């Protein structure tokens, strides 16, 4: 009976996170790696913020390029999974945080998002507001969805790169 309650709790957490943001969709390492090499070459001078970091695959890929990687995730189960999979990687940090209400780290240079059609324009406005607050440009890499009304600087088959000043 306890197992059923635990399972029900985990399912409820995943359903509740859909109300706050996008559903959990695991990123493919190959696609992420292409974005970090072809679209926006990450380096050790970058700090990447992954919104809805899930199991941390984007964070670990960013760290492989030498970037410091910070993940905001609202689902505590995924934060634990990300932490377990990223153990021993000092450049990777995952926090339970809501993107809509949490300031970006002051040294953020790149923001990575998987924003659904319903949220991508709002996410872009949030990145714009943070660029203004930080007083410098921020790069936005959007997985799969284009920002309405904004032309990407570059695109691959799965990602779009934008700059917000």
Span 144-161, average pLDDT: 94
Token representation of residue 118: 């319903």
- 32: exposed, middle or buried (C-beta count within 10 Å: 0-12, 13-18, 19+)? buried
* DSSP secondary structure code for residue 24 in this structure: -
Q: Is the pLDDT of residue 7 over 80?
A: no
HSE value, Cβ hemisphere, 13 Å, CA-based, for 17: 25
**Which of 18-22, 98-102, 156-160 is the least confident region?**
18-22
DSSP states along 37-55: IIIS---TT-EEEEET-TT
The helix (H) or strand (E) run that includes residue 19 is helix 2-20
* Cβ contact 70:110 at 8 Å: no
Q: What is the pLDDT of residues 80-123, one digit of tens each?
A: 999 999 999 999 999 999 999 999 999 999 999 997 778 999 99
pTM over 0.85: yes
DSSP states along 101-132: TSPPPTT--EEEE---TTTHHHHHHHHHHHHH
pLDDT band at 21 (very low <50, low <70, confident <90, very high): low
89: three-class secondary structure by DSSP: coil
């Amino acid at each position: 009976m306890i197992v059923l309650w635990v399972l029900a709790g985990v399912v409820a957490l995943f359903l509740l996170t859909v109300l706050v943001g996008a559903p959990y969709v695991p990123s493919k390492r190959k696609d992420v790696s292409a974005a970090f090499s072809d679209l926006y070459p990450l380096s050790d001078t970058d700090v990447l913020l992954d919104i809805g970091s899930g199991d941390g695959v984007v964070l670990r890929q960013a760290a492989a390029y030498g970037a410091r990687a910070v993940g905001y995730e609202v689902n505590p189960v995924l934060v634990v999974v990300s932490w377990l999979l990223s153990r021993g990687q000092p450049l990777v940090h995952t926090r339970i945080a809501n993107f809509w209400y949490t300031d970006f780290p002051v040294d953020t240079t790149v923001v990575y998002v998987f924003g659904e059609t319903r949220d991508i324009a709002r996410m872009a406005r949030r990145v714009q507001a943070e660029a203004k607050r930080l007083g410098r440009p921020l790069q936005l890499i959007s997985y799969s969805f284009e920002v309405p009304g904004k032309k990407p600087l570059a695109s691959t088959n799965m990602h779009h790169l934008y700059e917000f000043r």
